[in-house]
Amino acid sequence: MILRMKISIILVFVFLSCYGCAKNGNDLMDPPDSPSSNDPPEVTLTWVSSARPPGGSLHIARTTSNGKTSQITYLTDSPYNDYKPVISPDSTKIAFFRAYNEGGNFFLWNSSICVMNADGSDLRELTGHEFMNTEPYWTRDGTNCITWSRMIHSSEGTFGTYVYRTGMEDSPGDEVQISATNWEWGNSSLRDGRMFVSRGGAHFLLNPDPGGNPGYEEISYPDSYHYLHKVTISNDETMIAYMKKIDPDGDDYLGSQIVYANLDASVPAITNEVVFVPKNENKFSWYVSISPDNNYLIYAEDGKIMIHDVETGKNSQFSTMKEVEYRYPTFDGSVK
């Protein structure tokens, strides 16, 4: 039942993506409406994202903006769509996935995990594109590895999603599976090597053991179970942000809030959730990144980049080029 529900939700997301453009204790902060402002914070910030110029495919791009004017530099130029860039801990590399076949069942997409220099040079594919390889993240433990979720259709093998890892200098075929089961989603890692994963209706820190028996530490969570996805952990590993699905029967995206909270990796525990983008099915709000200093969060909304000021609690538009469609932003200098 859960598996069928997740598959149907994924299909809804594919349709939309293809055709649609602190408080003490464990209390939840869930404002009825998100305070917004037409005046962005007085700060200049840079992010890397997927960006679609008029009439083009999704490219990886770097944008610098002060909320009033912006400058964009496209780092890739392919007829294929490039998705979900993430920046290495030393800021010298960018990983992303390139989709060679899209449409229909998301499990039947074909994509490769790619890596390039931060300026777009020396682009290489780290995997083949026989499967759907998605959601890349960088490890933080000094191994310079990239992790991602591989989606396998029943016609291709044992149906499900598996977490994989490969080195940034490796070749296609060198990747190794680091998850134990066939239904896990990988997210951000910690400096000690553990990784946030969703598995079997709960959330864990995974201790990878390629070819062996990985360990799982369940994460204490202040609310009843919700599907948390697009998870990102701050550079100092004290803050976590994610999309939180609040309608069990709804869509993973339109039925979600965007939330940040405290993270204590030693327990491990999530506490003090703050909802800064309430559920609003009239807007497509998704993906989130935490600034290196934890002062701001950015997310995509209907093709724009929005910014949340943690101090003031206000959201405002930060991208300025109406002709550019933005998706999947990550702060320059932040590890996803």
Which helix (H) or strand (E) covers residue 71, if one does? strand 70-74
Tell me the per-residue pLDDT of 59-118, one tens digit each, with 9 for 90 and over: 999 999 999 999 999 999 999 999 999 999 999 999 999 999 998 888 999 999 999 999
Average pLDDT, the chain: 90
Q: Which residues contact 187 (CB under 8 A, 6 or more apart)?
A: 135, 137, 195, 196, 197, 198, 229, 230, 231, 232, 233
Which pLDDT value is given to residue 155? 87
Which pLDDT value is given to residue 247? 83
Dist. CA 332–CA 241, nearest whole Å: 17
In the chain, which residue ranges form alpha helices assigned H by DSSP?
A: 2-19
Q: Is 106 helix (H, G, I), strand (E, B) or coil?
A: helix
Which pLDDT value is given to residue 35? 58
% of the chain beyond a pLDDT of 90 = 77
Tell me the per-residue pLDDT of 270-294, one tens digit each, with 9 for 90 and over: 999 999 999 999 999 999 999 999 9
User: Residue 230, by phi and psi: left (phi above 0), alpha (psi -120 to 50) or beta?
Assistant: left
Other Cβ atoms within 10 Å of 202 Cβ, number: 12
Dist. CA 27–CA 170, nearest whole Å: 45
Tell me the per-residue pLDDT of 285-330, one tens digit each, with 9 for 90 and over: 999 999 999 999 999 999 999 999 999 999 999 999 999 999 999 9
Give the residue, 12 or 64, on which the prediction is more confident. 64
Asked if residue 28 has pLDDT above 60, the reply is no
What is the spatial order of strands in the sheet that 215-218 belongs to? 184-189, 195-199, 202-207, 215-218
Task: For the chain, list the domains and their CATH numbers.
Answer: 2-331 (2.120.10.30)
Structure token pair of residue 153: 């259709």
Cis amide leading into 89 (omega within 30): no
Structure token pair of residue 155: 């016609």
Asked if residue 7 has pLDDT above 80, the reply is no
What's the pTM? 0.89
